[in-house]
């Protein structure tokens, strides 16, 4: 039994190691002096300096963050309300709508990209941030919708009924009871959606228009034409930022747990 436990641990460790290998490479070569990635010729910070002066990349990064935040915010509202409403109601169209709203993540991205390209040109919408937000919102909604839906199944309905019996309005019940209960799902759904939006190449490439670049689109064109190591530097910075945010959030969580532990023993 003990031995088996160890073996599974080794399996997990090896696979995780392989997962991190390419990332480690990117980080290492962001400090490389030479432009080539064949061998490490010497330590240098010059790619970070180039990155700092590269207005295009900074703009693309800004666009990507803006796009992710706006699309996530819109989809969080639409997806959460939709999931709550669907769980309570029994419309004839419910099943179909549920299926239809999750279609964007059930079909290959390329189809969504082409469909939006054709549809937006039909509507004569100018390609740019608006089209990007619409396209990203469509595939962000399903992540939030499904997470919230799954969470709603496990929620004790009697809490809401109690609130209603005690005279709370429907809106008050939603904000005071339902929303706090499903908040973890809304947050994790939004985080997942943001990650998907921040990383999307296939759909963005079709609807971004000639003048607007998101970060993944910019990186993609660079990968096709020839990479400069400043992209490595950028990735390293993003990675450092993520680790920092995760570190802080886990510290905060630990402190909260400790406080909660003092109040009541779980």
Partner 1 sequence: MEKKKRSGLFLTVAPLYIFTLVFVAGPLLYMIALSFATNSDGWGTLWKFTLENYKKIADPVYLKSFSQSFQLAFTSTICITLLGYPFGYFMAKQSAKWKKRIMLLIMVPFWTSSLIRMYGWIILLQAKGVFNTLLVKLGIIEEPLKILYSYPAVVIGMIYALLPFMVLSVYSSVEKMDWSLVEAARDLGASRAKAFLTITLKLTLPGLLTGVILSFVPSMGLFFIADILGGNKIVLVGSVIQDQLTRGSNWPFAAALAVVLMVLTSIMIYLYRKITHVKDLEGFF
Residues 47-76 touching partner 1, rule: CB under 8 A, are: none
> Which is nearest to 83 in space by CA: 70, 68, 72, 97?
97
Helix or strand or coil: residue 124?
Answer: coil
166 belongs to the binding site for partner 1 (CB under 8 A):
no
143 belongs to the binding site for partner 1 (CB under 8 A):
no
Strand partners, 43: 32
Q: Could you tell me how many residues of this chain bind partner 1 (CB under 8 A)?
A: 77
Q: Which residues contact 14 (CB under 8 A, 6 or more apart)?
A: none
Stretch that binds partner 1, among 15-23, 42-50, 51-59, 65-73 (CB under 8 A): 15-23
Stretch that binds partner 1, among 21-29, 42-50, 65-73, 258-266 (CB under 8 A): 21-29
Stretch that binds partner 1, among 49-57, 179-187, 227-235, 255-263 (CB under 8 A): 227-235
> Which is nearest to 151 in space by CA: 129, 180, 175?
180
16 belongs to the binding site for partner 1 (CB under 8 A):
yes
Among 41, 130, 170, 256, indicate the residue that binds partner 1 (CB under 8 A): 170
Among 118, 183, 244, 251, indicate the residue that binds partner 1 (CB under 8 A): 118
Q: ∠ at Cα 11 (6, 16), nearest 5°?
A: 125
Q: Which residues contact 34 (CB under 8 A, 6 or more apart)?
A: 41, 42
Among 104, 149, 186, 208, indicate the residue that binds partner 1 (CB under 8 A): 104
- In this complex, which beta carbon is closest to partner 1, that of residue 78 or of residue 159? 78
**How long, in residues, is the chain?**
266
CA pair distance 233, 29, nearest whole angstrom:
8
> Which is nearest to 207 in space by CA: 107, 145, 99, 123?
123
The 3-state secondary structure of 191-234, one letter per residue: HHHHHHHHHCCHHHHHHCCCCCCCHHHHHHHHHHHCCCCHHHHH
119 belongs to the binding site for partner 1 (CB under 8 A):
yes
110 belongs to the binding site for partner 1 (CB under 8 A):
yes
Minimum separation from the CB atom of position 38 to partner 1 (A): 4
Among 51, 86, 207, 212, indicate the residue that binds partner 1 (CB under 8 A): 86
Stretch that binds partner 1, among 42-50, 155-163, 179-187, 211-219 (CB under 8 A): 211-219
């Amino acid at each position: 039994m003990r031995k088996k436990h160890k073996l599974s641990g080794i399996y997990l460790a090896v696979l995780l190691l392989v997962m991190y290998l390419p990332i480690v490479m990117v980080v290492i070569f962001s400090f490389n002096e030479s432009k080539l990635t064949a061998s490490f010729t010497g330590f240098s910070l010059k790619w970070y300096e180039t990155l700092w002066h590269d207005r295009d990349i900074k703009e693309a990064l800004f666009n990507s963050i803006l796009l992710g935040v706006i699309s996530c915010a819109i989809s969080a509202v639409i997806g959460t309300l939709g999931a709550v409403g669907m769980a309570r109601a029994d419309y004839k169209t419910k099943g179909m709508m549920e299926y239809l709203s999750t279609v964007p993540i059930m079909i290959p991205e390329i189809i969504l990209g082409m469909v939006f390209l054709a549809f937006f040109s039909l509507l004569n919408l100018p390609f740019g941030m608006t089209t990007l937000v619409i396209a990203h919102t469509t595939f962000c909604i399903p992540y939030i919708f499904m997470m919230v839906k799954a969470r709603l199944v496990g929620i004790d309905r009697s809490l809401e009924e109690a609130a209603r019996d005690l005279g709370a309005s429907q809106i008050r019940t939603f904000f005071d009871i339902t929303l706090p209960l499903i908040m973890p799902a809304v947050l994790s759904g939004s985080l997942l959606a943001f990650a998907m939006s921040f990383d999307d190449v296939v759909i963005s490439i079709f609807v971004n228009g000639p003048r607007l670049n998101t970060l993944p689109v910019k990186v993609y064109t660079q990968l096709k034409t020839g990479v400069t190591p400043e992209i490595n530097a950028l990735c390293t910075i993003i990675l450092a930022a993520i680790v920092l945010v995760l570190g802080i959030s886990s510290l905060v969580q630990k402190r909260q747990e400790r406080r909660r532990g003092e109040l009541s023993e779980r």
